[in-house]
Structure 1
Amino acid sequence: MKMRVIEKAPERRPGTPLLPAIAAVTVALLCVVVIAGFGGYRINLTPSEPLGLWRIVKLDRAAGIGDLVFICPPQTAATQEARSRGYLRSGLCRGGVAPLIKTIIAVAGQRVAIGIGVSVDGYPVAHSALQHRDGEGRPMTPFGGGIVPAGSVFLHSAFGSSYDSRYFGPVPASGVLGLAQQVLTYGS
């Protein structure tokens, strides 16, 4: 009968620094994130659009209906409340929030009506039912509707619990950073 030799895992030599190795890996990962951020890449951690790595593609035209965009939300009472409730993540936009990924469904001059869902110029928008309470049971206040002002866009996400223009209204088109392009994503 043969004896099996079980090798022992190599032991760490006394004095071998484990903490500096962990620190070096952490610093390397942070550098990759910073470089990616300056290169127009963003990581989406919200379920409004597929999770993962996205890229901001600069526009050489005005953003229009149907464009999936990265946009910095304006600093308004609604977005400040959204930040305090945890709807908006931290990021590099004014007010310390991350850019949103949303689809433009209306532009200046179009009429937006809010009821059970959203309609634009009388046409209902699919997947636009309003939520009356958030995930923690707090009341949600919908936007009152009206004409989208000059220089503004109305944003939407098909994700039912998305925080978008259904609640905070039209936003300045000047906040559009560019088109949102999926790079490496998963989910929805």
Structure 2
Amino acid sequence: MKTSVFAFGTRRAQRAHAVVLLALAASIVGSGVAAAIVGGFRINLTPSEPLGLWRIVALDRPAAAGDLVFICPPQTPVMQEARERGYLRSGACTGGVAPLIKTVIAIAGQHVEIGASVTIDGRAIASSDLAERDGKGRPMTPFAGGIVPGESVFLHSPFRSSYDSRYFGPLPTSGILGLAQPVLTYVP
């Protein structure tokens, strides 16, 4: 008479082992994600900057033009509309959105003009032409332009479809989490 014995015992025992292993794997992944977030690491899944793993590095001075920063957008009507349209991803910033990765192109006191493209203090910004419509055909409203207010920055990404200050205007420097440092990234 043949008897069948499973490597891990009965089917019930096999299922119990599988549940325990699955729970352990989920715990390890969850702990890794939590440690990465606490350690200042973020994953960028938007084409505004290279995709992949980034690190937030403390900024121990005022933000300057040319700085690539992580910044939490404020909860304003413009940002709420951006969230509803799907321009902002879910994340840990106030309002449940992910921090943006953008380059500071103007600081407080500088003059921003918005036309077919952006100029800062009369200097044209490369790759700054505006889109009239988003990817779903909805109209895009550009920022009116003007002087960047105190304790604010004007942000840009060279990616044409980027949602940046061309549309939402300057953001308060209080939302800056730090400099954005690529760790393991690629451009698709």
Task: State whether TM-score is above 0.5.
Answer: yes
Matching residue of 1:182: 182
- Cα drift, residue 60 of structure 1: 1.2
Matching residue of 1:63: 63
Q: Structure 2 stretches of 5 or more lacking a match?
A: 1-5
Deviating above 4 A after TM superposition, structure 1's stretches of 4 or more consecutive aligned residues are 10-13
Deviations 1:38-91 (A, max 9, x none): 111111111101111100000111110000000011111110000011110111
Q: Which amino acid aligns with 1:175?
A: G
- Cα drift, residue 18 of structure 1: 1.9
SS of corresponding position for 1:104: strand
- Cα drift, residue 12 of structure 1: 7.0
2:171 paired with 1:171: yes
Distance in 2 between residues matched to 1:147 and 1:72, nearest whole Å: 21
Distance in 2 between residues matched to 1:19 and 1:164, nearest whole Å: 45
SS of corresponding position for 1:167: helix
Q: Which amino acid aligns with 2:66?
A: G
Count of matched residue positions in the alignment of Structure 1 and Structure 2: 179
Matching residue of 2:93: 93
Distance in 1 between residues matched to 2:7 and 2:31, nearest whole Å: 31
Distance in 2 between residues matched to 1:100 and 1:20, nearest whole Å: 37
Moved more, 112-121 or 20-29: 20-29
- Cα drift, residue 22 of structure 1: 2.0
SS of corresponding position for 2:95: helix
Q: Which amino acid aligns with 1:167?
A: Y
Q: Which amino acid aligns with 2:178?
A: G
Deviations 1:107-139 (A, max 9, x none): 011110001110000111000010111111111
Matching residue of 1:123: 123
Matching residue of 2:52: 52
Matching residue of 2:19: 19
Distance in 2 between residues matched to 1:177 and 1:139, nearest whole Å: 31
SS of corresponding position for 2:126: coil
Q: Which amino acid aligns with 2:47?
A: P
Matching residue of 1:161: 161
- TM-score, length basis structure 1: 0.91
- Cα drift, residue 19 of structure 1: 2.8
SS of corresponding position for 1:94: coil
Q: Which amino acid aligns with 2:94?
A: R
- TM-score, length basis structure 2: 0.91
- Cα drift, residue 21 of structure 1: 1.5
Q: Which amino acid aligns with 2:152?
A: S
